[in-house]
Amino acid sequence: MKDPDVLDDSINDAVLESMEDVAEDEVDLLKEHRAEKIKSLCSKWFQYGEYITVEIDTESETCIVVPYE
């Protein structure tokens, strides 16, 4: 990815979409909490919010994301 904000932007968009049924006064309280949970999970695969390593197996024609160490 060329833009380090793309992961954060995508997460924030997804969080907002998931909160359509949440009362307006609760949105701000939940938005940051939900986004941080997702960002924490994504840190297993993303470094600096933009670098990701994939492993391509040409024999089985598959591609997997390699966990970041």
**Can you give the pLDDT at residue 55?**
93
**Which pLDDT score is estimated for 1?**
64
Is residue 23 a part of any domain in this protein? yes
Instruction: Determine, yes or no, domain membership for 1.
Output: no
Where in the sequence is the domain holding 52, given as residue range(s)? 6-66
Could you tell me the CA-to-CA distances from 7 to 13, 17, 49, 62, 66 in Å, in that order? 10, 15, 6, 23, 17
Q: Check if the beta carbon of residue 11 is closer than 8 Å to that of residue 42.
A: yes
* Residue 26 located in a structural domain: yes
If DSSP codes are grouped into helix, strand and coil, which group holds residue 58? coil
Which region holds residue 61: left if phi is over 0, alpha if psi is between -120 and 50, else beta?
Answer: left
Q: Mean pLDDT in each 10-residue stretch from start to end of the chain (69 residues)?
A: 81 88 84 90 84 90 90
